[in-house]
Structure formats: C-alpha cells, structure tokens
Amino acid sequence: MPKISIIVPCYNVDKYLEQCLDSLVGQTLQDIEIIAVDDGSPDTSGAILDQYGAKDSRVKPIHKKNGGVSAARNDGIEAATGEYIFFCDGDDWLPLDACQLLWEEAEKTGADMVFGDIWRAWDDRNEYLRLFEKTFYYDDPAFIRELIRTNFYYTYRPLAPMQDAADGLYGTCWNKIVKRSLLKEKNVRFDLRVKGIYDDVIYSGNVMAVAKTVAYIGKPVYYYRQVATSMTRVFKKNVLEINEMIFRCWDELIQAHDPAGEWKLAHHGAVIRRLDHAVQVYFASPANPASKKERKAELKKLIRTEPYRSAAQGVELDKLIRRHRVLAQLAARGSAGGILFFYNLKRKLKK
C-alpha cells in the first residue's frame, strides 16, 4: 500500500501539467501513487498523462468522459490504494518535500487529517499564506468544530496568524492529506450537485465533521496558481442555482452535525461571501446580457429571499472583510442599486 495517493483532476491544463507532474514524481517521499484523471479534456492533457505513466509506474492515468472536477476527484478516490489521500489540481504544483512533511506528521500522530500552508503563485511572484499562528495536533471535538466554522468564514478561525492573507483558502482540499479509510468508512465524497464550485469547502467540512484528530504542520505544502480564466472568476449565468445547491449541502451538514447551532453566525458570513461571488460573476459582470434595470430588479428580489435576507440581517459585521461588510449592510437595507453601484465603482477603480 502506498503511503499517499495523490489525485490530480485534469481538464484543459496541458500548459501547466508537466510542471505539476514533475513536482509529483520528484517528491522526496517516493512511496506514493499518482492517480491522474483525464476528465475528457479536449487538449493534450490526456497524452501528457500517458507519457508520464509510461515512464513512471506510479503515475496511473484514468481517461473518462467529462463529468466535472468533483466527479474526477471521486473517481480518483475510488481508484486510490494509498493510506492517505492528497489532491493536486493539474494547473498547480507541490513543493518537493510536501508529501514527506505531511506523511511524517501523520506517522507521528496518526491524525485523520494533516494539513499545511500554501504558496499563492502569480506570474511574477509567490505569496506565502500561513494559516495558523502555531502548529498543532488536536483530538478535541470542540477545536475541530472551530475549524469547521473557519470553513464557513475564515475570520472565525482559532489561532489566527500574525499576517492575515489567506482569506478564503482554509476550506481547500488540496493542502491536506486525509485517511482513505475515513473517507471509505464515512462515505465522504465530493458533492456533484455544486458543479465544482465550493465542492472542496463542502468536502473539507464533511471530513472535519467525522475526523477524530487533526494536525497542522505550519509549513508550505502547495503552490496555488492564480489563473485569470479560473472557473471561479468567469461570468456564470447559473451562479444562483449553484448557490442554492451549496446552501442545501451546508444545511445538510449543519442538520447532521450542528444541532446546537454553533455554526450559525459563521454560516451567515458564508452566505454573504456567496452573495459577493454572485454579484461579481453575474449581477455586476460586464458579460451579463440583461439590462441594468433587469439586473437590479432580480438582485432586489434575491436579497429579500432566504438565506440571504437572514444572513444580511444577522451576520456579525465585525467578522466580515470590508467588501463583505458593505455588501451585507446594503443587502440588509434592500438596496440592490447601492450594491451594483458599489461593485461597478470597485471595478472601475481597479482598472
């Protein structure tokens, strides 16, 4: 049994894929397998995977019909044989000692989940994102529940670092190793209903909800590439439907694991964050073909519906970043016009 199975979903990433795979086959921890899932990619990603598989038996390509990143990750989980599962997107890469660092902590503590810090990678620079002030190992359910609140909205996290730059990256799936036996026993998988948006946050929340022990090593284990055409940044006409599914998944998590309502206020923050995303990629997007009047009317109706209405009125404003705080205040007043003005102004100033 390999110590770690690295699952790599690939779709239209041939520009970056060799850098990714080189970082995986070059890991200082050699006892790994690389489950590389070609998700029906129309570019040369599949051929690149086959080339690496022919050279290194640890690289195991899977070719499938396109089903989205969540389905590709699930297929990887089913094919994996390692003791721990690790995810790496095909346009990102790992420090060469990432698996070694995570495995050594897992071997020492036996933790269900071990995670580390992140490099945010731009074209001309890398930014180090430290997630917590100090390393830790916990088997305390109360602390793990705090980590789940962090998944909803990052300012709720315990042990905040001195330099706070990690924003929404706490719930990612790709800076963590998780026991495969835990995923199998508790049937934790990526939810296909959310179309690859927030699927990692929901996955991580479900993992933490059933984990007995977690560890954080305080060292970087992942390079997260900033790509302008990322699916989280482009115009999305179905973002409201996706949000509805995300909220449904969160509701299921809360109903199953938070009967006392400890996550309610953090959940309000998460709803505001999803409203922020909807405004950016839909309502205030220059690519939206609807008229300004139509967009304003639709947004006004939306912020009067649940869960947006309760979130805007009940969220802890001092926990929100500035943009989200302004958005929540405007939404609480029902000011769709104010929201659109604010976001359009921000776009103009950014240019």
User: Around 115, how many Cα atoms within 13 Å sit in the side-chain half-sphere?
Assistant: 24
Q: What percent of the chain has pLDDT over 70?
A: 96
User: Would you give the distance in Å from CA 35 to the centre of its chain?
Assistant: 19
Q: Beta partners for 9?
A: 37
Q: Beta partners for 176?
A: 115
Q: What is the DSSP string of 163-209?
A: S---TT-TT-STTEEEEHHHHHHHT----GGGTTSSHHHHHHHHHHH
Omega cis (within 30) before 307: yes
Which among 327, 346, 345 is positioned nearest to 335, based on CA atoms? 327
| Structure confidence by residue, pLDDT tens digits, 1-28 | 999 999 999 999 999 999 999 999 999 9
Across 281-307, average pLDDT: 96
What is the pLDDT at residue 55?
Answer: 98
pTM of the complete model: 0.94
CB 239 within 8 A of CB 291: no
Cβ neighbors of 181 (< 8 A, separation 6 or more) are: 83
Spatial distance between the Cα atoms of 280 and 343, rounded to a whole number of angstroms = 7
Least trusted range by pLDDT, from 32-36, 63-67, 157-161, 226-230: 226-230
